[in-house]
């Protein structure tokens, strides 16, 4: 039985197979509309979410399956002090696959240890968010056309931004990716993320404190939100939240084919006047999220087009 806790759980060829399956689903969604008939996904969200939870549920519904779960810690037995291990053992008997979001880092590792069904990490604290990364890879491949020979600007909260950590971990496995890390000093990427880049021949990074200085070199500008919920101290959040704001004027020096991505939700880090430019791909990105999750569910359940790919 396979789980997806970290993108490094998947080989490059498995990742590519999932992306190929997502492409196939986008091309012919009707071919998959009954692929998960009589199957159930449990979405256990100990933290609030709009896109991720709904996209998992939409993915399962479009595959002909069913959904159950909870949308916050307050509406589960976690509020009574139940452990992750116990919750997972119980839910394993109600569902065929579980997508779990938890505020504590590493919680899905515990879940996978005790689960009787495949576990998908739908985000663990500031640590990892592998299905967002699969979404990002699908977006890059469809919108840019390749996953190698790229200069990728990562901007905003690189310390607690789990999407950034997962994306770096996945992209270093493709050739010649240069990362430009754009963040305030307090929110720079953790050492282990930089070590991932250092360890991979052909990949490199630079640390930059100005978005404008890097703009003309980027193939992708990946914006992130400064996340209030990751700060213990409100004053630090207020001081840092407006560090990097992208607006249409700042895009003047950009390559015409550059794309702007964002895992969403955004607060104010991308001005609304960027939405209408050809650079903006973040709403397409959210749409692709449903298709890659459909592919992942099929892969982990070994069904239909996903049989044998994981």
Partner 1 sequence: MKIDEIQNGIVLDHIKAGRGMRVYHTLRLDTLDCTVAIIKNVKSEKMGKKDIIKVDEAIDIDLDALGFIDPNITINIIRDGELVEKRCLCAPERLVNVIRCKNPRCITSSEQEIDQIFLLRDAEKLTYRCIYCEAAYRGKES
Nearer to partner 1, 113 or 255 (CB): 113
Q: Is residue 228 a contact residue for partner 1 (CB under 8 A)?
A: no
Residues 28, 261, 183: CA angle, nearest 5 degrees = 155
Shortest Cβ 8–partner 1 spacing (Å):
11
Give me the sign of the Cα torsion angle 124, 130, 136, 139: negative
Question: Per rule CB under 8 A, is residue 192 in the interface with partner 1?
Answer: yes
**CA dist., res. 98 & res. 88, Å (int):** 9
**Is-catalytic flag, 127?**
no
Min dist CB 199 to partner 1, Å, is 10
Reply yes or no on whether 146 is catalytic.
Answer: no
Cβ nearer to partner 1, comparing 110 with 223: 110
Distance CA 90, CA 123 (A): 21
Known active-site residue 51? yes
- Gyration radius (Cα) of the chain, Å: 19
Cβ proximity to partner 1: between 35 and 226 the closer is 226
Q: Does 44 bind partner 1 (CB under 8 A)?
A: no
Of these residues, 51, 66, 188, 250, which one is catalytic? 51
- 52 as an active site residue: the answer is yes
Torsion of CA 304, 305, 307, 308, to 10 degrees: 170
Q: Which of the residues 117 through 136 are near partner 1 (CB under 8 A)?
A: 124-127
Residues 97 and 76 sit within 8 Å (Cβ to Cβ):
no
Pick from 110, 168, 181, 223: which binds partner 1 (CB under 8 A)? 110
User: Distance between CA atoms of 79 and 166, rounded to whole angstroms?
Assistant: 29
User: Containing H/E element for 97?
Assistant: strand 97-102
Footprint (CB under 8 A) of partner 1, residues 77-96? 83-85
Residues that bind partner 1 (CB under 8 A): 83-85, 102-107, 109-110, 124-127, 191-192, 195
**Which residues are known to be catalytic?**
51-52, 80, 101, 129
């Amino acid at each position: 039985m396979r789980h997806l806790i970290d993108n490094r759980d998947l080989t490059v060829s498995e990742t590519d197979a999932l992306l190929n399956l997502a492409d196939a689903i986008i091309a012919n969604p009707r071919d998959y509309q009954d692929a998960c008939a009589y199957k159930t996904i449990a979405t256990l969200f100990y933290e609030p979410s709009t896109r991720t939870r709904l996209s998992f549920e939409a993915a399962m519904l479009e595959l002909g399956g069913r959904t159950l779960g909870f949308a916050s810690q307050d509406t589960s037995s976690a509020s009574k002090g139940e452990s992750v291990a116990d919750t997972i053992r119980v839910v394993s008997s109600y569902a065929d696959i579980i997508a779990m979001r938890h505020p504590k880092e590493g919680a899905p590792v515990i879940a996978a240890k005790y689960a009787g069904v495949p576990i998908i990490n739908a985000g663990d604290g500031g640590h990892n968010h592998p299905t967002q990364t699969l979404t990002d890879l699908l977006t890059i491949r469809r919108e840019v056309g390749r996953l190698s020979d790229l200069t990728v600007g990562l901007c905003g909260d690189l310390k607690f931004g789990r999407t950034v950590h997962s994306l770096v971990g996945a992209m270093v496995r493709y050739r010649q990716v240069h990362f430009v890390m754009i963040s305030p000093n307090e929110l720079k990427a953790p050492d282990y993320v930089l070590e991932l880049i250092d360890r991979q021949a052909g990949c490199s990074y630079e640390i930059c404190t100005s978005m404008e200085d890097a703009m003309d070199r980027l193939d992708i500008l990946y914006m992130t939100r400064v996340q209030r919920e990751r700060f213990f101290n409100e004053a630090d959040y207020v001081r840092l939240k407006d560090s990097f704001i992208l607006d249409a004027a700042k895009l003047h020096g950009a390559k015409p084919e550059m794309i702007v991505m964002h895992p969403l939700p955004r607060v104010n880090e991308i001005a609304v006047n960027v939405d209408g430019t050809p650079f903006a791909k973040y709403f397409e990105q959210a749409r692709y999220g449903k298709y890659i999750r459909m592919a992942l569910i099929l892969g982990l359940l070994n069904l239909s087009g996903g049989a044998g790919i994981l």
